[in-house]
Structure 1
Amino acid sequence: MGFAAMRTLDGPLYLDNISVEAGSSGRGIGKALLNEVRSHAASLNARAVTLTTFREPVWNGPWFRRYGFQTMPLDRIGQGLWGVIDHQARTFDPATRETLWQLL
Protein backbone atom coordinates (compact mmCIF):
# COMPACT_ATOMS: atom_id res chain seq x y z
CA MET A 1 0.00 0.00 0.00
CA GLY A 2 2.78 2.48 0.88
CA PHE A 3 6.21 3.03 2.37
CA ALA A 4 8.46 5.73 3.75
CA ALA A 5 12.26 5.87 3.48
CA MET A 6 14.13 8.12 5.89
CA ARG A 7 17.52 8.72 7.49
CA THR A 8 19.14 11.13 9.87
CA LEU A 9 20.90 13.92 8.04
CA ASP A 10 22.55 16.91 9.73
CA GLY A 11 20.58 16.23 12.92
CA PRO A 12 17.00 16.24 11.61
CA LEU A 13 15.34 13.19 10.14
CA TYR A 14 15.41 13.45 6.35
CA LEU A 15 12.44 11.94 4.53
CA ASP A 16 13.89 10.48 1.33
CA ASN A 17 10.58 9.25 0.00
CA ILE A 18 7.00 8.63 0.99
CA SER A 19 4.94 6.72 -1.52
CA VAL A 20 1.44 5.30 -1.73
CA GLU A 21 0.32 2.95 -4.48
CA ALA A 22 -1.82 4.77 -7.03
CA GLY A 23 -4.92 2.65 -6.35
CA SER A 24 -4.65 3.35 -2.62
CA SER A 25 -4.53 7.14 -2.69
CA GLY A 26 -7.15 9.11 -0.79
CA ARG A 27 -7.44 6.57 2.03
CA GLY A 28 -5.23 8.31 4.60
CA ILE A 29 -2.25 5.99 4.04
CA GLY A 30 0.12 8.86 3.27
CA LYS A 31 -0.98 10.75 6.37
CA ALA A 32 -0.48 7.62 8.49
CA LEU A 33 3.00 7.13 7.03
CA LEU A 34 3.86 10.77 7.69
CA ASN A 35 2.72 10.36 11.30
CA GLU A 36 5.02 7.33 11.60
CA VAL A 37 7.90 9.42 10.25
CA ARG A 38 7.20 12.13 12.83
CA SER A 39 7.02 9.55 15.61
CA HIS A 40 10.29 8.00 14.50
CA ALA A 41 11.94 11.44 14.42
CA ALA A 42 10.69 12.14 17.95
CA SER A 43 12.04 8.78 19.16
CA LEU A 44 15.46 9.82 17.80
CA ASN A 45 15.17 13.22 19.51
CA ALA A 46 15.46 14.84 16.09
CA ARG A 47 14.50 18.50 16.14
CA ALA A 48 12.81 18.42 12.74
CA VAL A 49 11.80 16.39 9.70
CA THR A 50 13.25 17.69 6.42
CA LEU A 51 12.60 16.77 2.80
CA THR A 52 13.09 17.86 -0.76
CA THR A 53 10.20 17.65 -3.19
CA PHE A 54 8.65 19.11 -6.30
CA ARG A 55 6.75 22.37 -5.89
CA GLU A 56 3.93 20.76 -7.91
CA PRO A 57 1.88 18.55 -8.42
CA VAL A 58 -0.54 18.62 -5.51
CA TRP A 59 0.70 15.32 -4.06
CA ASN A 60 4.21 16.73 -3.64
CA GLY A 61 5.01 20.10 -2.03
CA PRO A 62 1.39 21.21 -1.60
CA TRP A 63 0.55 17.94 0.18
CA PHE A 64 3.38 18.36 2.69
CA ARG A 65 2.51 22.02 3.30
CA ARG A 66 -1.06 20.97 4.05
CA TYR A 67 0.39 18.88 6.91
CA GLY A 68 2.41 21.70 8.41
CA PHE A 69 5.68 21.67 6.46
CA GLN A 70 7.21 25.02 5.58
CA THR A 71 10.01 26.27 3.38
CA MET A 72 13.29 25.58 5.13
CA PRO A 73 15.43 28.70 5.60
CA LEU A 74 18.63 28.45 3.55
CA ASP A 75 20.79 29.23 6.57
CA ARG A 76 19.39 26.15 8.38
CA ILE A 77 20.28 23.68 5.61
CA GLY A 78 23.26 21.56 6.67
CA GLN A 79 26.10 20.21 4.59
CA GLY A 80 24.49 16.79 4.10
CA LEU A 81 21.22 18.25 2.87
CA TRP A 82 23.09 20.62 0.54
CA GLY A 83 24.71 17.49 -0.89
CA VAL A 84 21.27 15.97 -1.55
CA ILE A 85 20.07 19.19 -3.18
CA ASP A 86 23.19 19.40 -5.37
CA HIS A 87 22.83 15.74 -6.39
CA GLN A 88 19.17 16.20 -7.31
CA ALA A 89 20.03 19.31 -9.34
CA ARG A 90 21.92 17.07 -11.78
CA THR A 91 18.66 15.34 -12.70
CA PHE A 92 15.86 17.78 -11.84
CA ASP A 93 15.44 21.45 -12.67
CA PRO A 94 16.16 23.20 -9.35
CA ALA A 95 13.41 25.74 -10.12
CA THR A 96 10.85 22.92 -9.79
CA ARG A 97 12.15 21.76 -6.40
CA GLU A 98 11.78 22.95 -2.83
CA THR A 99 13.25 22.07 0.54
CA LEU A 100 10.71 21.81 3.35
CA TRP A 101 10.86 21.12 7.06
CA GLN A 102 8.69 20.72 10.08
CA LEU A 103 10.01 21.47 13.52
CA LEU A 104 9.08 18.96 16.19
Structure 2
Amino acid sequence: MRIRPATRAELPTLQDIERAAGAPFRALGMAAIADDEPPTLALLEEFRHAGRAWVATGEGEGEGESESESDGTPVAYLLSTPVDTATHIEQVTVHPRAARHRIGQALIEHTAERAREQGREALTLTTFADVPWNAPYYARIGFHVLAEAELTPGLRKIRAHEAELGLDRWPRVAMRRELTPGGTTPRTAP
Protein backbone atom coordinates (compact mmCIF):
# COMPACT_ATOMS: atom_id res chain seq x y z
CA MET A 1 0.00 0.00 0.00
CA ARG A 2 1.10 3.53 -0.68
CA ILE A 3 -0.29 6.73 0.86
CA ARG A 4 0.15 9.95 -1.07
CA PRO A 5 -1.61 13.25 -1.77
CA ALA A 6 -4.67 13.02 -3.99
CA THR A 7 -4.36 14.41 -7.50
CA ARG A 8 -7.00 16.53 -9.21
CA ALA A 9 -7.58 13.80 -11.80
CA GLU A 10 -8.43 11.31 -9.01
CA LEU A 11 -11.23 13.33 -7.45
CA PRO A 12 -14.00 11.53 -9.41
CA THR A 13 -12.50 8.23 -8.18
CA LEU A 14 -12.88 9.48 -4.59
CA GLN A 15 -16.55 10.10 -5.30
CA ASP A 16 -16.86 6.54 -6.64
CA ILE A 17 -15.20 5.19 -3.47
CA GLU A 18 -17.69 7.16 -1.37
CA ARG A 19 -20.68 5.83 -3.29
CA ALA A 20 -19.47 2.23 -3.00
CA ALA A 21 -18.74 2.59 0.71
CA GLY A 22 -22.21 3.97 1.34
CA ALA A 23 -23.99 0.83 0.14
CA PRO A 24 -23.51 -1.21 3.37
CA PHE A 25 -25.47 1.42 5.33
CA ARG A 26 -28.62 0.26 3.54
CA ALA A 27 -28.51 -3.07 5.41
CA LEU A 28 -28.56 -1.11 8.69
CA GLY A 29 -31.75 0.73 7.76
CA MET A 30 -29.79 3.87 6.87
CA ALA A 31 -30.84 4.23 3.22
CA ALA A 32 -30.53 8.02 3.40
CA ILE A 33 -26.83 7.60 4.18
CA ALA A 34 -26.40 4.96 1.47
CA ASP A 35 -28.03 7.28 -1.07
CA ASP A 36 -26.26 10.45 0.08
CA GLU A 37 -24.24 12.15 -2.62
CA PRO A 38 -20.47 12.13 -2.15
CA PRO A 39 -18.55 15.36 -1.58
CA THR A 40 -18.63 17.59 -4.64
CA LEU A 41 -15.61 17.87 -6.90
CA ALA A 42 -15.27 21.50 -5.82
CA LEU A 43 -15.14 20.53 -2.13
CA LEU A 44 -12.70 17.71 -2.79
CA GLU A 45 -10.54 20.17 -4.75
CA GLU A 46 -10.52 22.54 -1.76
CA PHE A 47 -9.14 19.77 0.45
CA ARG A 48 -6.67 18.67 -2.24
CA HIS A 49 -5.44 22.20 -2.90
CA ALA A 50 -4.92 22.76 0.84
CA GLY A 51 -2.85 19.56 1.09
CA ARG A 52 -5.46 17.82 3.24
CA ALA A 53 -6.65 15.05 0.88
CA TRP A 54 -4.75 11.76 1.01
CA VAL A 55 -5.27 8.55 -0.90
CA ALA A 56 -4.20 4.97 -0.29
CA THR A 57 -3.42 2.76 -3.25
CA GLY A 58 -2.60 -0.90 -3.46
CA GLU A 59 0.68 -0.18 -5.22
CA GLY A 60 3.35 -2.73 -4.50
CA GLU A 61 1.02 -5.29 -2.94
CA GLY A 62 1.65 -7.98 -5.56
CA GLU A 63 -0.33 -11.20 -5.96
CA GLY A 64 -4.02 -11.44 -5.33
CA GLU A 65 -4.99 -7.86 -6.03
CA SER A 66 -7.00 -6.46 -8.88
CA GLU A 67 -5.37 -4.36 -11.57
CA SER A 68 -6.90 -1.16 -10.16
CA GLU A 69 -5.48 -1.97 -6.72
CA SER A 70 -1.96 -2.44 -8.07
CA ASP A 71 -1.82 0.32 -10.68
CA GLY A 72 -1.85 3.24 -8.27
CA THR A 73 -5.59 3.86 -8.41
CA PRO A 74 -6.92 4.96 -5.01
CA VAL A 75 -8.85 2.41 -2.97
CA ALA A 76 -9.37 4.73 0.01
CA TYR A 77 -9.09 8.38 0.94
CA LEU A 78 -8.98 10.70 3.94
CA LEU A 79 -9.86 14.39 4.23
CA SER A 80 -8.74 16.42 7.23
CA THR A 81 -8.87 19.98 8.48
CA PRO A 82 -7.53 21.88 11.50
CA VAL A 83 -10.17 22.33 14.20
CA ASP A 84 -9.16 24.12 17.37
CA THR A 85 -5.91 22.43 18.56
CA ALA A 86 -6.58 19.17 16.73
CA THR A 87 -6.57 17.76 13.22
CA HIS A 88 -10.14 16.80 12.45
CA ILE A 89 -10.75 13.82 10.19
CA GLU A 90 -13.56 15.08 8.02
CA GLN A 91 -13.88 11.86 6.06
CA VAL A 92 -12.09 8.53 5.84
CA THR A 93 -13.52 6.08 3.32
CA VAL A 94 -12.32 2.70 2.10
CA HIS A 95 -13.80 0.99 -0.96
CA PRO A 96 -15.57 -2.20 0.20
CA ARG A 97 -13.35 -4.37 -2.03
CA ALA A 98 -10.32 -3.10 -0.05
CA ALA A 99 -11.93 -3.31 3.40
CA ARG A 100 -10.43 -5.28 6.29
CA HIS A 101 -6.84 -4.67 5.23
CA ARG A 102 -6.18 -1.83 7.72
CA ILE A 103 -6.07 0.71 4.93
CA GLY A 104 -8.27 3.17 6.81
CA GLN A 105 -6.09 2.75 9.88
CA ALA A 106 -2.98 3.40 7.77
CA LEU A 107 -4.51 6.64 6.50
CA ILE A 108 -5.34 7.65 10.07
CA GLU A 109 -1.78 6.87 11.24
CA HIS A 110 -0.40 8.91 8.34
CA THR A 111 -2.65 11.80 9.38
CA ALA A 112 -1.52 11.43 13.00
CA GLU A 113 2.13 11.78 11.97
CA ARG A 114 1.39 14.90 9.94
CA ALA A 115 -0.66 16.34 12.81
CA ARG A 116 2.27 15.82 15.21
CA GLU A 117 4.59 17.57 12.76
CA GLN A 118 2.17 20.50 12.74
CA GLY A 119 2.07 20.64 16.54
CA ARG A 120 -1.50 19.40 16.86
CA GLU A 121 -2.60 17.88 20.17
CA ALA A 122 -5.01 15.26 18.88
CA LEU A 123 -7.06 13.78 16.09
CA THR A 124 -10.82 14.25 16.23
CA LEU A 125 -13.75 13.00 14.19
CA THR A 126 -17.51 12.68 14.35
CA THR A 127 -19.23 9.44 13.47
CA PHE A 128 -22.22 7.17 13.97
CA ALA A 129 -22.23 5.65 17.44
CA ASP A 130 -23.78 2.29 16.60
CA VAL A 131 -22.39 1.46 13.15
CA PRO A 132 -19.80 -1.32 13.64
CA TRP A 133 -17.27 0.19 11.22
CA ASN A 134 -17.70 3.67 12.75
CA ALA A 135 -17.43 4.47 16.49
CA PRO A 136 -16.68 0.89 17.66
CA TYR A 137 -13.89 0.66 15.07
CA TYR A 138 -12.39 4.02 16.02
CA ALA A 139 -12.46 3.03 19.69
CA ARG A 140 -10.38 -0.03 18.81
CA ILE A 141 -7.69 2.19 17.28
CA GLY A 142 -7.38 4.58 20.20
CA PHE A 143 -10.20 7.13 19.92
CA HIS A 144 -12.53 7.83 22.83
CA VAL A 145 -16.02 9.32 22.84
CA LEU A 146 -16.21 12.90 24.07
CA ALA A 147 -18.92 13.94 26.49
CA GLU A 148 -20.93 17.00 25.48
CA ALA A 149 -19.01 19.12 28.02
CA GLU A 150 -15.70 18.07 26.40
CA LEU A 151 -16.57 19.35 22.94
CA THR A 152 -14.42 22.23 21.75
CA PRO A 153 -16.05 25.20 20.03
CA GLY A 154 -15.05 23.83 16.61
CA LEU A 155 -16.51 20.40 17.35
CA ARG A 156 -19.74 21.99 18.60
CA LYS A 157 -20.01 23.83 15.29
CA ILE A 158 -19.42 20.60 13.33
CA ARG A 159 -22.03 18.74 15.37
CA ALA A 160 -24.56 21.56 14.88
CA HIS A 161 -23.98 21.44 11.11
CA GLU A 162 -24.46 17.65 11.11
CA ALA A 163 -27.75 18.09 12.97
CA GLU A 164 -28.87 20.63 10.34
CA LEU A 165 -28.12 18.00 7.67
CA GLY A 166 -30.30 15.45 9.50
CA LEU A 167 -27.47 13.13 10.48
CA ASP A 168 -28.71 13.05 14.08
CA ARG A 169 -31.57 10.75 13.05
CA TRP A 170 -29.06 8.10 14.13
CA PRO A 171 -26.93 8.44 17.28
CA ARG A 172 -23.70 10.32 16.57
CA VAL A 173 -20.65 11.03 18.69
CA ALA A 174 -17.52 13.13 18.57
CA MET A 175 -14.32 11.21 19.26
CA ARG A 176 -10.74 12.19 20.05
CA ARG A 177 -7.35 10.48 20.06
CA GLU A 178 -4.51 12.21 21.83
CA LEU A 179 -1.18 12.54 20.06
CA THR A 180 1.42 11.85 22.70
CA PRO A 181 4.72 13.74 22.83
CA GLY A 182 7.73 12.03 21.30
CA GLY A 183 5.86 10.73 18.30
CA THR A 184 4.15 7.67 19.74
CA THR A 185 0.45 7.05 19.47
CA PRO A 186 -1.33 4.78 21.92
CA ARG A 187 -1.95 1.49 20.14
CA THR A 188 -4.64 -1.04 20.77
CA ALA A 189 -4.81 -4.69 19.92
CA PRO A 190 -6.01 -5.44 16.36
Q: TM-score, normalised by structure 2?
A: 0.52
RMSD, aligned α-carbons: 1.3
Greater share of residues in strand: 1
**Distance of 1:76 and 1:47 partners within structure 2:** 15
* Counterpart for residue 96 of structure 1: 171
- How many residue pairs match? The answer is 104
The SS at the match of 1:17 is: strand
Q: Quick check: 1:23 aligned with 2:128?
A: no
**Distance of 2:144 and 2:154 partners within structure 1:** 19
Q: 1:95 to 1:6 in 2, by over 3 A?
A: same
Residue 49 of structure 1 and its aligned partner are, at CA, apart by: 0.5
- Per chain length, whose mean CA-contact separation is higher, i.e. which structure has more relative contact order (CA < 8 Å, sep 6+)? 1
The SS at the match of 1:14 is: strand
Contact kept? 2:128, 2:170, Cα under 8 Å: no
* Counterpart for residue 82 of structure 1: 156
Q: Quick check: 1:56 aligned with 2:56?
A: no
Q: Letter of the 1:42 partner, please give it.
A: R
Q: Quick check: 1:2 aligned with 2:86?
A: no
**Distance of 1:15 and 1:42 partners within structure 2:** 14
Residue 74 of structure 1 and its aligned partner are, at CA, apart by: 3.2
Q: Residue by residue, what CA displacement relative to the aligned partner does 1:54-94 show, whole Å, maximum 9, x if unpaired?
A: 01211100110000100124333222211110010121126
Contact kept? 2:76, 2:103, Cα under 8 Å: yes
Greater share of residues in helix: 2
* Counterpart for residue 11 of structure 1: 85
* Counterpart for residue 56 of structure 2: none
Q: TM-score, normalised by structure 1?
A: 0.92
**Distance of 1:55 and 1:13 partners within structure 2:** 20
Displaced runs of 4+ in structure 1, greater than 4 A?
none
Unpaired runs of at least 5, structure 1 = none
**Distance of 1:97 and 1:73 partners within structure 2:** 12
The SS at the match of 1:93 is: helix
Aligned-residue sequence identity (percent) comes to: 25
Unpaired runs of at least 5, structure 2 = 1-74, 180-190
